[in-house]
């Protein structure tokens, strides 16, 4: 099955420590993705982006000289770009836009802008959580990791967390664009010997802090027939929102990915067994374990066995742990999925984003070019 909408362009901006502005990185990613699609800036009438300012879509549109008739600047953290895919499909099918660009860019490492107080004083959680001085968001994910180790075995769970980081590094060593390319292999002992950030998560369990950005271009399947590139069909998508605070999470081991994944698979008429490769948001190693289980690749508590037996190709760019993490990784997960579908025998790719404190969830299923 297909939604009738396809991805025809995908590209990254410069990555790492770039010395460029966020808007410059956005422009790089967008123009490169349009070139990949065989389209021009003047063809774009839909834009989805966030992060560069309060009025992100208007800011990027002005910078590039665009006048889009459809925009989306929903801020949902790491899952936003998977949500944008679903919203863009709906807009294209409704005739609200014909060429939609989904983009992101951040210079957080160059600008040293990562450190800030995340608590907005008017929110209920501020009075209950802020006095304890949690590191946001790592302390919340560390609580989930502690619960995972308690529920499924400390040694087994710790080994699985390490395996996520080790696997990401192995893929990064094959990717010249990866921040950790050339850094050498990572072992489980290396992961566990790194400085502790928030127990049990070490620095190697946490995503990178880099500059970077990416973009993908979506059009109808009918329009794609006139374009030179290989068109990757959007097969299904789903989203779910649970809560925004540590105190609102409830069961730390069951996330909204179960709902977003169920909706995406139902739309596509597929199951996890049909997926050939997965790009799953790895803000922290625990995020991957929880997502694999919630998405149905394995039962609760079985992610360690899934990883130990090879599972499936996972975060093949190196992910947020070893490739790049410019504040939000979601669009770059889409870029990698498109590249693999074009270059390998994979038939179905899953892309899953997680935002906030296990707060927002977006799942997209993409198919091989026909």
Q: List pLDDT tens digits, range 232-245.
A: 999 999 999 998 88
**For residue 118, is pLDDT > 90?**
no
pLDDT digits (tens, 9 = 90+) for 163-208: 999 999 999 999 999 999 999 999 999 999 999 999 999 999 999 9
Torsion of CA 328, 330, 334, 340, to 10 degrees: 80
Asked if residue 57 has pLDDT above 90, the reply is yes
Residues noted as catalytic: 281, 323
Q: What is the pLDDT of residues 339-349, one digit of tens each?
A: 999 999 999 99
Confidence of residue 246 (pLDDT cuts 50, 70, 90): confident
pLDDT band at 143 (very low <50, low <70, confident <90, very high): very high
**Residue 248: what pLDDT?**
84
Please state the rounded mean pLDDT for residues 256-274: 98
Q: How confident is the model at residue 112 (pLDDT cuts 50, 70, 90)?
A: confident
Res 162: pLDDT: 98
Rounded Cα distance, 367 and 360, in Å:
24
pLDDT at 294: 98
> How far, in Å, are 28, 40, 165, 336 from residue 181 at the CA level?
22, 32, 14, 16
Whether pTM > 0.85 for this model: the answer is yes
Confidence class for position 301, pLDDT limits 50, 70, 90 = very high
Distances (CA, A) of 367 to 220, 223, 277, 348: 15, 17, 11, 5
Of the candidates 172, 51, 56, 55, the residue with the CA atom closest to the CA atom of residue 114: 51
pLDDT of 354 reads: 98
Name residue 241's beta-bridge partners.
360
pLDDT above 90 (res 2): no
Q: What does the pLDDT look like over 9-53, one tens digit per residue? A: 999 999 999 999 999 999 999 999 999 999 999 999 999 999 999
Task: Examine the pLDDT at 119 and tell me if it is beyond 90.
Answer: no
* Rg, the chain, Cα only: 19
Average pLDDT value for residue range 322-334: 97
Q: Token digits for 254?
A: 């069951």
Q: pLDDT band at residue 115, thresholds of 50, 70 and 90?
A: low
Q: What mean pLDDT is predicted for residues 142-150?
A: 97
């Amino acid at each position: 099955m297909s939604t009738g909408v396809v991805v025809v362009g995908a590209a990254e901006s410069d990555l790492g420590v770039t010395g460029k502005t966020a808007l410059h990185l956005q422009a790089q990613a967008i123009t490169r993705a349009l070139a990949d699609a065989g389209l021009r800036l003047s063809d774009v009438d839909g834009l989805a982006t966030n992060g560069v300012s309060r009025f992100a879509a208007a800011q990027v549109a002005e910078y590039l000289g665009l006048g889009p008739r459809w925009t989306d600047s929903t801020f949902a953290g790491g899952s936003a770009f998977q949500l944008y895919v679903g919203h863009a499909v709906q807009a294209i099918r409704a005739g609200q836009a014909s060429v939609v660009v989904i983009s992101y860019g951040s210079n957080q490492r160059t600008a040293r802008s990562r450190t800030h107080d995340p608590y907005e004083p008017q929110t209920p959680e501020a009075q209950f959580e802020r006095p304890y001085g949690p590191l946001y968001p790592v302390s919340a994910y560390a609580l989930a990791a502690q619960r995972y180790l308690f529920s499924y075995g400390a040694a087994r769970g710790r080994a699985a967390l390490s395996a996520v980081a080790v696997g990401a590094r192995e893929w990064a060593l094959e990717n010249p664009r990866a921040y950790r390319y050339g850094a050498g292999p990572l072992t489980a002992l290396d992961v566990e010997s790194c400085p502790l950030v928030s127990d049990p998560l070490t620095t190697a369990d946490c995503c990178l802090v880099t500059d970077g950005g990416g973009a993908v271009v979506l059009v109808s399947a009918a329009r794609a027939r006139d374009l030179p590139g290989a068109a990757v069909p959007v097969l299904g998508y789903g989203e779910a929102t649970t809560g925004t605070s540590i105190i609102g999470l409830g069961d730390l081991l069951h996330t909204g990915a179960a709902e977003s994944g169920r909706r995406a698979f139902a739309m596509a008429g597929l199951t996890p067994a049909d997926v050939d490769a997965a790009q799953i948001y790895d803000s922290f190693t625990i995020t991957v374990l929880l997502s694999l289980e919630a998405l149905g690749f394995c039962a609760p508590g079985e992610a360690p066995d899934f990883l130990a037996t090879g599972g499936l190709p996972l975060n093949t760019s190196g992910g947020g742990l070893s490739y790049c993490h410019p504040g939000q990784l979601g669009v770059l997960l889409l870029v990698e999925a498109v590249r693999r579908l074009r270059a390998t025998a994979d038939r179905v790719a899953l892309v899953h984003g997680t935002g906030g404190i296990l707060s927002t969830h977006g799942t997209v299923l993409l198919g091989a070019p026909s």
